[in-house]
Structure 1
Amino acid sequence: MNTPVGIYVSIPFCKAKCSFCNFASDVFGSERMDSYIDRLCREIVSARHEAQRTGAVLEASADSVYFGGGTPSLLSPDQFRRIFTALRGEFHISQEAEITVECAPGQLSSETLEALQREGMNRVSLGVQSFVDREARTVGRLHTGPECEAEIARLQAAGVSKTGLDLIVGLPHQTEASWRESVDRALESGVGHISVYMLEVDEDSRLGREALAGGVRYGAGDLPHEDDVAEWYEMGCELLQKAGTGQYEISNFARDGERSLHNMKYWRRLPYIGFGLDAHSMLLSENGSVRFQNPDGMNVYMNDPTGPFPMVGVEAQERPVERVSREAAFEESIFLGLRLNAGVRLTDLRESFGVEMVESLMPSMAEVCEAGLLTMDEERIRLTAKGRLASNEVFSRLLVAAAV
């Protein structure tokens, strides 16, 4: 196997919980944060023991480390030092490794920035979401547009080799003009990577629950129509492409050499291991691959003796492990690979899963192509621009056919 692993570290702390957020993150006190770091480091130290239990192969080398949240930049230099010490005690993190930290504008101190750079951090992803103050304020962001621009300039001046930012299309009060303003200001900032997410309206966020209930709190009464959001997303894609920040995945755009190595692991089904609250893992095994997930409740995660997975020297209930079947791996290869603009090579599918399994999908793929959602030739299949907007529909059609 010998494929370097990607490492994800969940830091679920925020200064304020945004109304649109559906992640396992929240506002916690400093004492809780420090005890969480202790728990996290113990989990890292137990990684090989846990991998052995699942029958998975956990490579010693790692070529990406991603601190996600929450707002990881809220950690102190000492807390980051403890995490890196634990990681380097279990993994060989190469000199060329991509080390990413998610930050909120204005919430990364100079001291912490310097400490992270000493640890090898070379990539920052800023949660801007909108450069328009009214939109950001409505959903609970604590920064202004000028503060975002100043933060980007500070990171670039400090020598952070790669900077990126997130934008959300479909926020309350957003208009075509204000969305274009955010895209333009993102491009003018000179960042090399931009992620564009369409706002999710579901029961897992305060804003989503309010909108589904027909309420007006959190700006739910001022959400743009979904048809407008789809048009604005397409407009954003065009603007970014013309400016040399090309789309390589449904939600991700990058200049040459600026793609996220860590996130590519997810879409290419390469091995990764997650540590911390609600972290997911996918590791290779002799018989395919295994998946497992940490609990999404802080109290459950923190409670070692009765937690859902064992620590070294601690009696505990074992964490459920999904042994990915050949059929499930085939489905994953399709719906994850199709997220990439490059699509999925049919030759790779045939070599990995056999001609018969691929041929069984051909009628459904032909139907999706006729609907203008997919293109297919002898070499590969790809989503069209229309298909990227209706990707869930495409995936459901193909996965139903694959399951028959």
Structure 2
Amino acid sequence: MSAPAPAPLAPTPPPGRPYSAYVYAYPHKTAYRPLPEPPALRDLWHGERKDALSLYLHIPFCEVRCGFCNLFTRIGAPDGLTGRYLDALERQATAVRDALGDDGPVSFANAAFGGGTPTFLTAPELERLCDIAEQRMGADLRAVPLSVETSPATATADRLAVLAERGATRVSIGVQSFVAEEARAAVRPQRRADVEAALGRIRDARVPVLNIDLIYGIDGQTPATWRTSLDAALAWRPEELYLYPLYVRPLTGLARRTALTDRAWDEQRLSLYRQGRDHLLAHGYEQVSMRMFRLAGTAPQGPDDHACQTDGMIGLGCGARSYTSALHYSFDYAVDMGEIRGIIDDYTATDDFTRAVHGRPTNGDEARRRHLLQSLLQAQGMPVADYRERFGADPHEDFPAELAAFAARGWLDQDGTGPLLRLTPEGLAHSDALGPELFSPAVRAAMAAYEAK
């Protein structure tokens, strides 16, 4: 697995605490519910713009499960399961492409393979995965940015060769820490020598963009050990780096072993974040969001943080989401390993993929919140004129209390009064507090009512 998953949102985030939840999509999947009358995909996509779609293929398998992970994934795969999963993925792709219809142009602007760990698949299985994207969905992988997640153990030369030949422009590897004691504390068994060897193989494959994920806030981590991981990553001069705060989530390995929830931990993470941010900025990186840093002069080769979660997303696989302008939909969600296995088994046995079965409608208010979240959590900010053109109103009219509170905390550049609604450096540092405050009462209530399984 690559990036750590978001934490479920508390019903009311305490003001002033910097870490409430990683807002990587809105509405959050824990606000989804079974749809009482599952709509046909053909009806959902009729009239939608389909000439610049995003394509995401989800592979829910990992060789190990990290202690912090609540991604939808299982450890290993019994004989034949990956083949059955790809069979189901192909059936789903066929049904979805048929549902998109031919009433207008259908094309893809970008693609991504995530998980889980897509490179858990063998090299021939990765070939088949690419074939499904191209032959069933009609995506030209060599003509669009293609991002793929990997892990140190599965970034093998044969797998990387397949990805490079099929058009991968970005490989993201979850390292989390180059310090052995920290890796063990995060319940992520790995040796630094194996990590370095995997990074070498990725560079040898000549994929244009290498992204390295690191985590701060691990038990026992210090400014000195954090600097060790930062410098070890910088030695590879990756085009992108993601710095993630550690979250302890229900039903994960760390949740069963620790209870790091106090304000001292908040302050530790915030201090390490500032250290990491400043260190990367001093070494030629530009900040794209709270988490994402890009080497100056590097052209984007994949969707930016948050920006990938736009309307017009086709998600294939049992953990993927799809987004139309009116409905976000997916399959059921779980964290517990037994529940995940059951959902995967149900998915592989499914023959009819023509309807959306689990999701949440997005009304006008939710679309406004979504637009503001997507834009404000990016370092470049949101032109107020763009919001006004789309919704016919000023964001300060739609969210007066929220924006006034952000300005009072010093989180908005120019107190939010300029033509560009943009976060200050301190606002970016508090993205995980700011984002959840923009969630609607209805979404917040649905998330609070969600029973983790």
* Range class of TM-score, shorter chain: 0.7 to 0.9
Name the structure 2 match of 1:279: 320
Change (3 A) 1:171 1:51: farther
**Alignment partner of 2:62: what SS?**
coil
Name which of structure 1's ranges 18-27 and 251-260 shifts more when overlaid on structure 2. 251-260
Would you say the 8 A contact 1:10–1:69 is kept in 2? yes
Query: How big is the shift at 1:51?
Result: 4.9
For 1:363 and 1:389, locate their aligned partners in 2 and report how far apart those are by CA, in whole Å.
21
Change (3 A) 1:362 1:36: same
Residue 93 of structure 2, aligned match among 31, 44, 49: 44
For 2:284 and 2:232, locate their aligned partners in 1 and report how far apart those are by CA, in whole Å.
15
Q: What one-letter code is carried by the residue in structure 2 that aligns with 1:38?
A: D
Q: What one-letter code is carried by the residue in structure 2 that aligns with 1:158?
A: A
Would you say the 8 A contact 1:105–1:126 is kept in 2? yes
Query: How big is the shift at 1:399?
Result: 4.6
Name the structure 1 match of 2:78: 29
The answer for unaligned runs of 5 or more in structure 2 is: 1-48, 334-339, 444-453
Q: What one-letter code is carried by the residue in structure 2 that aligns with 1:347?
A: A
Residue 164 of structure 1, aligned match among 202, 211, 222: 211
Q: What one-letter code is carried by the residue in structure 2 that aligns with 1:348?
A: D
Asked if 1:295 is matched to 2:335, the reply is no
Would you say the 8 A contact 2:119–2:150 is kept in 1? yes
1:322-370 CA-to-partner distances (Å, cap 9, x unmatched) read 3321111000011121110011111111111112664242454233212
Name the structure 1 match of 2:352: 310
Would you say the 8 A contact 2:175–2:212 is kept in 1? yes
Aligned residues: 383
For 2:349 and 2:293, locate their aligned partners in 1 and report how far apart those are by CA, in whole Å.
43
Would you say the 8 A contact 2:164–2:205 is kept in 1? no
Q: Which of 1 and 2 has higher RCO (CA within 8 Å, sep 6+)?
A: 2
Q: What one-letter code is carried by the residue in structure 2 that aligns with 1:87?
A: A
Q: What one-letter code is carried by the residue in structure 2 that aligns with 1:370?
A: A
Query: How big is the shift at 1:274?
Result: 1.1
Asked if 1:244 is matched to 2:284, the reply is yes
Would you say the 8 A contact 2:331–2:358 is kept in 1? no
Query: How big is the shift at 1:108?
Result: 2.3
The answer for unaligned runs of 5 or more in structure 1 is: 213-219
RMSD of Structure 2 on Structure 1 (CA): 2.9
1:190-214 CA-to-partner distances (Å, cap 9, x unmatched) read 11110111011121412024323xx
Q: What one-letter code is carried by the residue in structure 2 that aligns with 1:19?
A: G
For 1:306 and 1:143, locate their aligned partners in 2 and report how far apart those are by CA, in whole Å.
34
For 1:140 and 1:399, locate their aligned partners in 2 and report how far apart those are by CA, in whole Å.
32
For 1:134 and 1:357, locate their aligned partners in 2 and report how far apart those are by CA, in whole Å.
47
**Alignment partner of 2:72: what SS?**
coil
For 1:363 and 1:392, locate their aligned partners in 2 and report how far apart those are by CA, in whole Å.
18
For 2:247 and 2:104, locate their aligned partners in 1 and report how far apart those are by CA, in whole Å.
34
For 2:404 and 2:104, locate their aligned partners in 1 and report how far apart those are by CA, in whole Å.
39
Change (3 A) 1:2 1:279: closer
Name the structure 1 match of 2:154: 107
1:280-320 CA-to-partner distances (Å, cap 9, x unmatched) read 1113xxxx44311123334334436985x9336xxxx7514
Change (3 A) 1:293 1:236: same
Asked if 1:131 is matched to 2:178, the reply is yes
Name the structure 2 match of 1:345: 383
Structural mapping, 1:3-402, within 5 Å = 3-27=51-75, 28-51=77-100, 60-89=106-135, 90-93=137-140, 95-212=142-259, 225-255=265-295, 256-259=297-300, 261-263=302-304, 266=307, 269-283=310-324, 288-296=325-333, 297-303=340-346, 310-311=352-353, 318-355=356-393, 358-375=396-413, 376-399=416-439
Q: What one-letter code is carried by the residue in structure 1 that aligns with 2:83?
A: D
1:57-95 CA-to-partner distances (Å, cap 9, x unmatched) read 996212322111222112112211222222112223253
For 1:58 and 1:268, locate their aligned partners in 2 and report how far apart those are by CA, in whole Å.
23
**Alignment partner of 1:166: what SS?**
strand
Change (3 A) 1:3 1:49: closer
Name which of structure 1's ranges 272-281 and 132-141 shifts more when overlaid on structure 2. 132-141
**Alignment partner of 2:303: what SS?**
helix
**Alignment partner of 1:148: what SS?**
helix
Q: What one-letter code is carried by the residue in structure 1 that aligns with 2:247?
A: E
Q: What one-letter code is carried by the residue in structure 1 that aligns with 2:352?
A: P
Change (3 A) 1:310 1:357: farther
**Alignment partner of 1:92: what SS?**
coil
Query: How big is the shift at 1:144?
Result: 2.1
**Alignment partner of 2:206: what SS?**
coil
Query: How big is the shift at 1:321?
Result: 4.6
For 2:250 and 2:110, locate their aligned partners in 1 and report how far apart those are by CA, in whole Å.
32
**Alignment partner of 2:210: what SS?**
strand
For 1:42 and 1:65, locate their aligned partners in 2 and report how far apart those are by CA, in whole Å.
19
Name which of structure 1's ranges 90-99 and 120-129 shifts more when overlaid on structure 2. 90-99
User: 1 or 2, which has the higher strand percentage?
Assistant: 1
Q: Quick one: percent identity of the two aligned structures?
A: 25
Change (3 A) 1:119 1:94: closer
Query: How big is the shift at 1:239?
Result: 0.6
Name which of structure 1's ranges 161-170 and 354-363 shifts more when overlaid on structure 2. 354-363
**Alignment partner of 2:315: what SS?**
strand
Name which of structure 1's ranges 126-135 and 148-157 shifts more when overlaid on structure 2. 148-157
For 1:265 and 1:3, locate their aligned partners in 2 and report how far apart those are by CA, in whole Å.
20
